[in-house]
Structure 1
Amino acid sequence: MTIRILHTADLHLGTPLRNFGEIARERQRDFLKTFDRIVNLAIKREVDCLVVAGDLFDATEVDSETVGRVQDGFGRLEGRGIRVVLIPGTHDNVVPAESVYNRHGFPGAAILREPVMGEPLRMDIRGTAVWFYGFAYRSDRSAEALESMRRREGAGIHIGLLHGSLKGSPEWEIRGKDIPFTAADLVALGLDYIALGHYHNSACLEDGGRIVACYPGSPEGKKFGENGPRHALVVEVGEGEVGVEKVPVQTRVVDELTVDASLFPEPGALEAELSRLASPDLIARVRLCGTVEEPVDAANLGGRLQGKFAWLDLVDETDLYHSDHVKHLEREDSIRGLFIRKVHDRFVRAESDAERELCQEALKLVMGRFGRGGGI
């Protein structure tokens, strides 16, 4: 006998997303749309249970609209006979009295909110006993909480929920409020599957070829670095057997691209290439690199392209300093030539990368003014 769960975590509903500038409010709506997509996916795939492994919300205090959206989604699942099991995370913890889980009810959802596991939560799903293990971490009370998740006696399927940090992972620096563990620690718990949360990129931990636990990653990119498609996991769990399917659920893709501007020297060619890469659902940070013969007017180029992306952060990392054109101009008996020679002298004498970068930026700025017919 197997059951099917939909595993998600780190939705961070209500996050301010100020790092996305003028589309911050629109991005907040994207996150709510992605929550709706997860609910719809659970219904479409006829899962038995939706499991949320922490940080459903971005903070302990949450606006009423967001709370209502979640209550509605859980209500829709309850109406289809789909159970919801969740644990609070680090962002939406239950410590303060004003915590969203202390102030609001979420009918249809079982919230594992004790600081240490007592008895696991039992649900009977299609004639099978399913046991859920999890806790809401509190630094002052949860010292033995991980150990308390060891498998209890009882026939059926045993599933854990854990919001914590895998030791040795390059993705995350472990902080005081995190729960550190190793893959061996999870294996020792003896559970059939552990639904992890906290890390924002997906990963599965295996033991002897068997999947022990997975991070689904954040289902919507919260910042650059959470790039590309984002997923929820459809997990088939039996006694000692696990199958995992990654299903894309994001509303928009966040991505970082690098374009060698030196490959597009003709007028309009660079803009055409960036237009080719654009999509109205793409939030992009595009880094321009390469040695160019003329300065790139990144502000103007970004303005012309902005409407072709959902949002564009254009970063000019091109190298004008080493171009043949600048080397030629350096020999001019002119104000421009004098300026380039002074920049060259300062660059040679620079004592840090930051100072050398400042020289290059000054050269781009002034050469751009010359190129546009301005003065200095």
Structure 2
Amino acid sequence: MIRLIHAADLHLDAPFAALSTERGSERREEQRSLLERLADLCERTQADLVLLSGDLFDSDRPYYETTQALARTLGAMKARVFIAPGNHDFYSPRSAWASLAWPENVHIFSSAEIESVELPGLGCVVHGAAFTAPYCDQPPLRGFRAPDDGAVHLMVLHGDVDGNGRYGSITSSDIAASGLSYLALGHIHTCSGLQKAGDTYWAYPGCPEGRGFDELGDKGVLSGGVEPGAALMDFVPLCSRRYEILTVDVSRGATPQAALEAALPGDARRDIYRILLTGESGIDGLDLDALEAVAAPRFYSVTLRDQTRVRRDLWSRADEDTLTGLFLRRMRANLDAPENGGDRALVEKAVRFGLAALENGEDCCP
């Protein structure tokens, strides 16, 4: 079995514009440290191959120190490394892929047409292609068929399975017809897990380091092995920080601050959180500065968003000569009904749902 690591979408030198200037700079440094964690994984697993499926850089003009760090780290690996540039870091004569002297163990695919590299010592052939512009309208796998020669055929591509035609569209039928043992893809930032079309296994590892709240939770790479007719690829988290979204109903505590404190996780000091405050608040709304002071020490970075609604008097329309007024009068009578056992909260909840239905909206629903 060929041992391999599959990674993609590092997006080195991403701006992290939503963070402060200081935090953004720290995050870019942490992205570079991701390379060391990748190298450690390569050493631990004794990988034969490292397949990097594009968008290693966030743009076609990365910082010089970033390209040096990547070249140095990849060159120190004992594995053979194959890179298929993506739409963010596309191959061109002026790109870092062409202008830098890359280590001997690194092969960079440089054409939009599929190239093939034979590795007789591993009984393997690695195929791949590159983005040569920010967009690729040509389906890169269309018409490809690996020879039935007993070798393990791998391919490294940046592309979109059954998706946008501008980013190297790949169909499931193209994958099934490819004759590949494993197709290592990049472009989608969520790990797909191991998939199969026909006899071909394929996967997206997702991005190994989140950059925003559209990239939540653990991020990492795929590591495992491939042999003729079989593949086993496990997700390995490598991110230094996680992005998470937490919803807090401020109505559930004696005060909004108490509700927030009760909901905060206890082990998120390295993580980046967005907290959505929901439920009912007082007529003057929430004191976000005070609530942020409570939350800030628990996280690397946190933002609060007020999505509460102003508390309303449930019974304010009870005297109206309307269907709503009749409903409220009857429900108020239920407050003292023996069968409710004095459960005021239950009656009030029923009132909110009833008002929402009568007003043809959901503003009152808990």
Interval containing the TM-score (normalised by the shorter chain): 0.7 to 0.9
Residue type at the aligned position of 2:25: R
**SS of equivalent to 2:309:** coil
**Shift of residue 142, structure 1, vs aligned partner:** 7.4
Candidates 179, 193, 206, aligned match of 1:217: 206
The answer to whether 1:117 aligns with 2:114 is yes
The answer to whether 1:193 aligns with 2:182 is yes
Which residue does the alignment assign to 1:15?
14
- Does the CA-based 8 Å contact 2:86-2:158 persist in structure 1? yes
Q: Deviations over 1:170-210 (max 9, x none)?
A: xxxx262x0112222111101000001000001132236x6
Which residue does the alignment assign to 2:146?
151
Structure-2 change in CA distance of 1:268 and 1:185 (3 Å): same
Q: Distance in 2 between matches of 1:25 and 1:32?
A: 11
- Does the CA-based 8 Å contact 1:283-1:311 persist in structure 2? yes
**Shift of residue 327, structure 1, vs aligned partner:** 6.5
Candidates 231, 239, 243, aligned match of 1:254: 243
**Shift of residue 15, structure 1, vs aligned partner:** 1.1
Structure-2 change in CA distance of 1:85 and 1:282 (3 Å): same
Q: Distance in 2 between matches of 1:284 and 1:185?
A: 40
Residue type at the aligned position of 1:167: D
Q: Distance in 2 between matches of 1:141 and 1:181?
A: 11
- Does the CA-based 8 Å contact 1:296-1:316 persist in structure 2? yes
**Shift of residue 307, structure 1, vs aligned partner:** 2.8
**Shift of residue 227, structure 1, vs aligned partner:** 0.4
**Shift of residue 105, structure 1, vs aligned partner:** 2.0
- Does the CA-based 8 Å contact 1:116-1:141 persist in structure 2? no
Residue type at the aligned position of 1:256: I
- Does the CA-based 8 Å contact 1:116-1:142 persist in structure 2? no
Structure-2 change in CA distance of 1:327 and 1:16 (3 Å): farther
Residue type at the aligned position of 2:282: E
Structure-2 change in CA distance of 1:219 and 1:51 (3 Å): same
Q: Distance in 1 between matches of 2:153 and 2:219?
A: 27
Q: Distance in 2 between matches of 1:116 and 1:50?
A: 21
Candidates 213, 224, 233, aligned match of 1:235: 224
Alignment of 1:1-376 (within 5 A): 2-22=1-21, 23-77=23-77, 81-95=78-92, 97-107=93-103, 108-118=105-115, 120-124=116-120, 127-138=121-132, 143=138, 145-147=140-142, 149-167=144-162, 174=164, 176=166, 178-203=167-192, 204-207=194-197, 212-266=201-255, 268-277=257-266, 279-293=268-282, 295-320=285-310, 322-324=311-313
% same residue: 27
Residue type at the aligned position of 2:151: G
**Shift of residue 18, structure 1, vs aligned partner:** 0.7
Residue type at the aligned position of 1:221: G
- Does the CA-based 8 Å contact 1:54-1:88 persist in structure 2? yes
Which residue does the alignment assign to 1:347?
none
**Shift of residue 141, structure 1, vs aligned partner:** 8.6
Q: Distance in 1 between matches of 2:253 and 2:34?
A: 37
Q: Distance in 2 between matches of 1:60 and 1:218?
A: 18
- Does the CA-based 8 Å contact 2:250-2:260 persist in structure 1? no
- Does the CA-based 8 Å contact 1:117-1:148 persist in structure 2? no
**Shift of residue 52, structure 1, vs aligned partner:** 0.3
Structure-2 change in CA distance of 1:104 and 1:41 (3 Å): same
Q: Distance in 1 between matches of 2:124 and 2:137?
A: 24
Question: TM-score when scaled to structure 1?
Answer: 0.77
Please say which of residues 136-145 and 179-188 is displaced more in the overlay. Answer: 136-145
Q: Distance in 2 between matches of 1:273 and 1:36?
A: 37
Question: TM-score when scaled to structure 2?
Answer: 0.79
Q: Distance in 2 between matches of 1:144 and 1:183?
A: 12
**SS of equivalent to 1:102:** helix
Q: Distance in 1 between matches of 2:66 and 2:35?
A: 10
Give the count of matched residue pairs: 314
Q: Distance in 2 between matches of 1:266 and 1:121?
A: 65
Please say which of residues 181-190 and 263-272 is displaced more in the overlay. Answer: 263-272
**SS of equivalent to 2:138:** coil
Gaps of 5+ in 2: 318-360
Residue type at the aligned position of 2:158: H
Residue type at the aligned position of 2:80: R
Structure-2 change in CA distance of 1:266 and 1:150 (3 Å): same
Q: Distance in 2 between matches of 1:26 and 1:274?
A: 28
Structure-2 change in CA distance of 1:51 and 1:141 (3 Å): closer
**Shift of residue 7, structure 1, vs aligned partner:** 0.3
Q: Distance in 2 between matches of 1:9 and 1:290?
A: 40
**Shift of residue 69, structure 1, vs aligned partner:** 1.2
**Shift of residue 325, structure 1, vs aligned partner:** 9.4
Q: Distance in 2 between matches of 1:40 and 1:211?
A: 29
